[in-house]
Amino acid sequence: MNKLKYKPLPLFFLMVMILGQACKKDKLNFEADNRVLTENRINSTARVINLALYNQVIANGDSLTSFLTPSPTPGSPPKLPGTSYFPNNGYLTKIWNVPQDLFNAQEIVKLDFMTRSYQATLGNDIKTEVKNDYNNPTDYFLMPTFGMEGQPEVVPIKRGVAAPSKPDHFKIRIVNLSGKIKVPGFNSSGALEDLTGSVSLAYSDGSLVNPKTNNISSATQTSEYIEVPYGTYQFKVLMQDGRQMPALGSELNQYTLLDPPTSTIPKDMMNSTALTYAPIQTYQPGGIYTILIAPQRFNYLINENSETADTYQNSFQILNDNSPAVNNTYFRIQGVNALNTAAVSFRVDGKTIATDLGFGASGAYSNFIQGTHTIEAIDASGKVIASVTQVLRPAQNYTAWLSPDAAGGPKLLLVANDLSGATYSGGLAQEDATYARNQYRYFFFKRFLNLSTGNPYITFTLNNGQSISSGDDNPNAGVNLQPGMPLFERPYVSSSYEQNPYEIMAYRSKPNVVPGIWASDIEVLKSDAFIANKDLYLRPARALPVHEPGIYTLSLIGQSGTGSTPATKAKMIIIKHNK
């Protein structure tokens, strides 16, 4: 008789699998969505620029903001709940891209703007209609008419969206919506100056950018867009008599203050720094920007206890008219002759970027596509006297220094310049500098190089050998610099906008002797050497500041000791990397 033979182990696993499938349940996704804005709304071509600082808005009779007005409480202000259209705190923002879903079939939305606050406000409620026109993108400027004259409550101006014709350029224009200030402020220093009239766009040294952005009046309102090579600029706005118009700073409280009669940053109620705030920033390739001239609210000192009052003053601010892509393509490079008195030229991959540079002279910046490049220095006969091949990365700024090597022959030293405006304050506690960073748009950064011969170690100091670094600066910056060997870790030192006049001196030091012996044969540099064009201040009869903001490299070039001549003797030169 045949008997069935069972294999218990396979049967056991089969039963486990069956039971596992029977008990299987769908698991719910408990991941939290912490995004502030969860609805994906499409923006229209209309944009509201809220210069009157309204905080509430109604669209087609329906409130989009919270209309909450909490009473003032000690300490930090309470965090207010958001709304679907304004999720951060339920208040209207300064720049609002009007969502497309608010428009009716005729592509029109009726908007009511107002301010609701626990305290009384000056502005009246306003009503306007905004149109979504795909062929004519438009900005609607809400003007602070309670503090100014000469402009209506709402000013519509068309906005450019076409990309620059050159991919490594950006577009920029001026929009002038200035007007007479109704209640100008004043203190013991004087009354608020009149900054109405035509304006022109200038670089940091006061040279005008383009005839198309010159003498733009509030009647003309807007200039054409012009194209400028991408890079780091400190644009300034000049009145017809050469006076500088301020911008309103935000990174330091002191940059919200102005001296009423000069619109400069004050030291105290009776003394000014003679510096007019104008931000330094990188304008990206493909970007489109507007320099807007309109009244903004500033503070000014009213007594010796640093108490302030506020006043409106015509000033400028920078608006992004598009959202340019991250620059993963282009870098900028310039050449400097730090070798000798013979004129030299510079080429990148055979393209000339600078010609006939004399001793200590620098060339203008040129833009190139990232990758491996060959930089060459050429003498007057066309002979290549030095070259270097290197991978150059996007969004970087380079200076090619032609300088002597250890034997006195020519060599090229390629140095990357940091134009970010960021500083690190974490010391050794933060290993990779991810945190403890400060971002500035108005700064005084200096880096030091020793490209001389006959000076094996050089330390740069302030007056009488005082350390040039302070605060969060690297204490080794500018100390014991050897020829052709730049410092790479935190090489910049920072100065203050209110710094007193100073001198920069060169000392011959040693690894264990700092600062060493003063190099009396090397001319001392005074702080006003960091002013590119003194006529920018003197022409409108204004005082000279101590120095100007910017990113600088101060290099010792030339020769000391045997073989030195008056033409080649060691000296300090300044190269400014923003324009």
What's the pLDDT tens digit per position in 512-537? 999 999 999 999 999 999 999 999 99
Beta bridge partners of 459: 507
Q: Average pLDDT, stretch 453-459?
A: 97
pLDDT > 90: what percent of the chain? 84
pLDDT of 542 reads: 96
Q: Rounded to an integer, what distance in angstroms lies between the CA atom of residue 48 and that of residue 288?
A: 17
Q: Which residue has the higher pLDDT, 218 or 25?
A: 218
Name the residue with tokens 């409130």.
63
User: How many other CB atoms are found less than 10 A from the CB of residue 139?
Assistant: 20
Q: What is the average per-residue pLDDT within 458-486?
A: 95
Instruction: Please choose, from the candidates 239, 234, 263, 94, the residue with its C-alpha nearest in 3D space to the C-alpha of residue 178.
Output: 239
Query: How many angstroms separate the CA atoms of 260 and 525, rounded?
Result: 32
Cα–Cα distance, 340 to 568 (Å, whole number): 6
Tell me the per-residue pLDDT of 307-330, one tens digit each, with 9 for 90 and over: 999 999 999 999 999 999 999 999
Least confident of 243-247, 449-453, 563-567: 563-567
CA distance 436 to 497: 22
pLDDT at position 406 over 70: yes
What does the mean pLDDT of the chain come to?
93
Tokens of 131: 């149109």
pLDDT tens digit sequence for 477-505: 999 999 999 999 999 999 999 999 999 99
**Confidence bin at 128 (pLDDT 50/70/90):** very high
Burial of 54 by CB count in 10 Å (0-12 exposed, 13-18 middle, 19+ buried)?
Answer: buried
Confidence of residue 30 (pLDDT cuts 50, 70, 90): low
